[in-house]
Amino acid sequence: MAAGAAVVVSGLVASGPAVPTFSHAAAAPSVQLAASIDPFAPWVEMFETTVANGSEVFDAVKGAVSGFFDMVEGQFAAATFIGVDVATPEGTDLAAQTLDWNHLWGLQYLAGMDFGMGVPPIEPVEPAATLLTLMSSPLTGLMMGLVGPLISPGVELFNSVGSIVDNVFGGDFEAALQDVLAAPANVIGAVFNGASLNLDALAQFLNEALQVPEGNAILGASFEFGGLFTPGETDAGNVGGSLYNSLGLLLEMEGMGMPYNAPGEGVGLIASLVNLAEMFSAGMG
């Protein structure tokens, strides 16, 4: 009996359902899937892209800022003539827009420019060359344009009174009467067209103030004030001028056989504004 039961149990076990077996091959896809997942890759890619784009953008910003400051520096120099050397082509181009030929040539001579043509160059005359360069800027032209219409009527009245007195003491009463009749028109006209002030009495003072070296001298001087509509005169042919251009000078210059005359050229308010705006917008070089 016991032997029969053992046979039955043995048969049941042998004929029972098969137990599945899990091989190593069945687990491989899960392991491979886990190995292909990289949570850091998107961050690395994002960081690299950000750095590359940022570098390109900031390089552009750096270039733009540098260019902007270079532009501002050039515009500042063109407006003030600070750092401008009138003996260079760039300086000559700038000065020609605020000085007539006589003043430009005289300034370049004092700055030591070699003209050739038998004119012996000299060592730069300082501080005269630097001071006159600064006085040649369009910003000083605007200063003259602002004060000219205000001062010119008084200057013209002073000139008229002086002429009347001279004619009276000279016995020319007809000329004195004509000066009296012309005075109102001259004074009003000075507001629009400017006036000239003789400064010959200050020639010696100017020689000392500018430390003019031996062999050179200021023999005479005058000052031209512009009115509202005075266009000025420049070597480049544009309207405008400057403080130095307004100063009339009769000079004795080493190496020249005769005095050098540079009559003053006044500049008015409107012309000086146009001149400054054009030169500032164009900048230097």
Smallest CA-to-CA distance from 250 within 278, 221, 213, 228 is with 221
Q: How much is the average pLDDT of 237-266? A: 87
pLDDT(3) > 90: no
**What average pLDDT does this structure show over 12-36?**
54
- Going by pLDDT thresholds of 50, 70 and 90, the confidence category of residue 68 is low
In one letter, which amino acid is 124? Answer: P
Return the closest-CA partner of residue 207 out of 194, 198, 195, 216.
Answer: 216
252 bridge partner residues: 217
Contact criterion met (CB below 8 Å) for 275 and 141: yes
pLDDT at res. 207 = 85
Average pLDDT rounded to a whole number, residues 11-21: 51
Cα–Cα distance between 40 and 50 in angstroms, integer?
Answer: 15
In this predicted model, which residue has the larger pLDDT, 11 or 175?
A: 175
The confidence score (pLDDT) of residue 230 equals 96
Q: How confident is the model at residue 140 (pLDDT cuts 50, 70, 90)?
A: very high
Per-residue pLDDT at 12 exceeds 50? no
Q: Degrees (nearest 5) of the Cα angle 178, 179, 185?
A: 100
Q: How many CA atoms within 13 Å lie on the side-chain side of 208? A: 4
Rg (CA), the chain: 44
Residue 284 has what pLDDT?
67
46-60, 132-146, 254-268: range with highest mean pLDDT: 132-146
pLDDT of 9 > 50? The answer is no
Q: For residue 249, give the amino acid letter.
A: L
The structural domains of the chain, with segments of one domain joined by +, span 72-150+196-282
Tell me if the pTM is above 0.85.
Answer: no
Q: Which of 50, 112, 63 is nearest to 85 (CA)?
A: 112
125, 212 Cβ separation under 8 angstroms: yes
Q: What is the pLDDT of residue 70?
A: 67
Predicted confidence at residue 63, as pLDDT, reads: 72
Sign of the Cα torsion 156, 158, 160, 163 reads negative
Identify the residue with better confidence: 6 or 62: 62
Tell me the average pLDDT across 113-132. Answer: 82
Q: In sequence order, what E strands does the chain have?
A: 195-198, 217-225, 247-252, 260-262
The pLDDT, as a whole number, for residue 43 is: 87
On the question of pLDDT at 120 being above 90, the answer is no
Tens-place pLDDT, residues 158-206:
999 999 999 999 999 999 999 999 999 999 999 999 999 999 988 888 8
